Structure 1
Amino acid sequence: MASPSFGPPPDAVAWESSLGTLRLWLAAVGPREHPDWLRDAAAVLQLRTRDPRGWRNIDLHTGSAERTRHTPYYPLDQVDEHHLNHHLELVTPHEAAALLTYQCAEYGNLARIPSGDGRPGLLDELHTAARTVLARFGPSAEFATNEELLGEEFPGSQGPVGDGERCRRSFAVSCFGHPDAQRNGYLMDVGVLAASETEVGVFWNYFID
């Protein structure tokens, strides 16, 4: 069923292509097994799940030497259900797509794209990809972020994110990073979560100095 906000849900090919455009550090989906989907989100962030559809997920820290039995989901740490409950904010579908767009533009792994983030039209490409990825979760999906939105409008009423919604241009973040990651230059982590009746997805980026 098509999402009224994002259009029809993607197939595996469109999903993988959109993830390639977004260049996320972490993009993972797991099953939703509890009425309170934060329990399932914690499992996804703790890398304890597999994609229910067998589609591509991304974890650029796979095989990292920093991942030990003491830091099994490095560079994240504070991702238990209780912490998520106190440090996530629900957002609208429009806000979720806009947030994911800007997070990927500013903190995603765009260094792997030859022309970098200065390529004309990149923001539009990212926004289209974000909408495609989030459409997977259907018309009744819920979305959340660890950013604290401050009630302004997104810039550029003619841009890809539209207008009349809250803005993240001035914002605070409740980071989930491990202290070791912070010492290694991971100064901030930021992401969007999505939950349908059957699946929970997390889409995460890092500001690295």
Structure 2
Amino acid sequence: MAATEKPKPGASLAFPNYQQAEELTEYNLNRNKAAIEAWIKGPPPEEGRSKPFYAVRLQAGRPGRQGVRCDGHRHAHQVRQHAHTAVHRHDVDALQALQPAEPTEKGQHHMSVDQASWDAAVRHLYRDATAYIATGLRGHEDWTLDVLALMARAVPDPRGWARVDDAGEDPERVGNPTWPFVAHPPEYVRPRLKEIDRDSAENLLLALTEGGCTLSNLRYFDESPDELRAMARTVLARYGDAATFHTNVGQTGSAPGTLDFTLESLEYSPMTVFTEDCGLVVVSDTEVGLFWNFNDL
């Protein structure tokens, strides 16, 4: 009787740190649990004795990021042409598999997400942006106070999920934890964050992938708009169906609470020291998420 061979990877991978390796190993085992158990209990398949198991692979680093100010946006287009690294086909398929079925009622999405998928979507979408992405616990009825705490880097992610802080090493940060946000009082911030609907929030997440806050930024990705939108839905799924969405961007659409990205001009209420900053705040009963893009023109 021929010996049964165990599943084996087709290639070795290098991870930038132990935590990422541990996260992806756990995700891979969970995602392929049924297939692995079937292999253990049954004979090897006739077509071969090894079986590949795939999972979303987080990429090491975010290629193309050139710093926070001035030069970063001007070099971004050249960097993409020479250093852009696409997610593999099975990575995209894994993210798309998280898309919910068509909702039974308007406003109901019924989508859940795990850490590995959420981290992968965030890191891929914003790897070439100059961004600040963070989530904290909601501790106040007035969630503006939680937004200010996130801007000041005063609270950790309650789940330990990915955080992007591209201005973290700026010398201006020394003694000024809010940099590049201006330390505005809540009375300034609150009226400048207007509520938008979920579809507009998805579009805004995609527009924030580069400067200019425009959906034309999607042309720099190898994935299709539908694939990228699946990643945006994965990001928003963390906050649940009842989450509300708020932005300092003023490209108001014809319907209340919508954004119109076909408008040529960009309107926004500044929150930082940069000449352009656009962002999204996601508010649930338990968490507040902050997604911000900085750009100097």
Give the TM-score taking structure 2 as reference length: 0.56
Q: Per the alignment, do residues 187 and 31 of structure 1 end up closer, same or farther by CA in structure 2, a change over 3 Å counting? A: same
Q: Per the alignment, do residues 79 and 16 of structure 1 end up closer, same or farther by CA in structure 2, a change over 3 Å counting? A: farther
Q: Which amino acid aligns with 1:141?
A: A
Cα distance, 1:64 vs structure 2: 1.6
* Residue aligning to 2:179: 74
Correspondence list, 1:46-125, <5 A: 46-69=152-175, 71-106=176-211, 117-121=219-223, 123-125=225-227
**Residue identity (%):** 29
The C-alpha deviation readout for 1:119-139, integer Å capped at 9, x for no partner, is 443544432222111111101
Is 1:46–1:79's contact at 8 Å kept on the other side of the alignment? no
Among residues 134, 141, 145, which one is paired with 1:28 in the alignment? 134
Name the larger-Rg structure: 2
Q: Which amino acid aligns with 2:276?
A: M
The C-alpha deviation readout for 1:9-60, integer Å capped at 9, x for no partner, is 2111011101112115111000001111111111111111100111121111
Distance in 1, Cα, partners of 2:212 & 2:113? 24
3-state SS in 2 of match to 1:132: helix
Distance in 1, Cα, partners of 2:124 & 2:200? 19
Q: Which runs of 5+ in 1 are unaligned?
A: 109-115, 154-164, 179-185
Deviates more, 1:187-196 or 1:2-11: 2-11
The C-alpha deviation readout for 1:76-101, integer Å capped at 9, x for no partner, is 11443222112110011111111111
Cα distance, 1:73 vs structure 2: 1.8
Q: Per the alignment, do residues 79 and 14 of structure 1 end up closer, same or farther by CA in structure 2, a change over 3 Å counting? A: farther
1:194 lines up with 2:282 in the alignment: yes
1:139 lines up with 2:237 in the alignment: no
* Residue aligning to 1:157: none
Equivalent residue pairs, number: 182
> 1 or 2, which has the higher strand percentage?
1
* Residue aligning to 1:172: 267
Is 2:149–2:155's contact at 8 Å kept on the other side of the alignment? yes
Give the TM-score taking structure 1 as reference length: 0.77
Correspondence list, 1:9-28, <5 A: 9-23=112-126, 24=129, 25-28=131-134
Cα distance, 1:188 vs structure 2: 0.5
Is 1:19–1:133's contact at 8 Å kept on the other side of the alignment? yes
Cα distance, 1:7 vs structure 2: 4.5
Q: Per the alignment, do residues 66 and 125 of structure 1 end up closer, same or farther by CA in structure 2, a change over 3 Å counting? A: farther
Distance in 1, Cα, partners of 2:184 & 2:122? 23
Q: Which amino acid aligns with 1:138?
A: G
* Residue aligning to 1:149: 251
Q: Per the alignment, do residues 102 and 7 of structure 1 end up closer, same or farther by CA in structure 2, a change over 3 Å counting? A: farther
Distance in 2, Cα, partners of 1:92 & 1:198? 19
Cα distance, 1:105 vs structure 2: 4.4
3-state SS in 2 of match to 1:177: coil
Deviates more, 1:167-176 or 1:8-17: 167-176
Is 1:30–1:44's contact at 8 Å kept on the other side of the alignment? yes
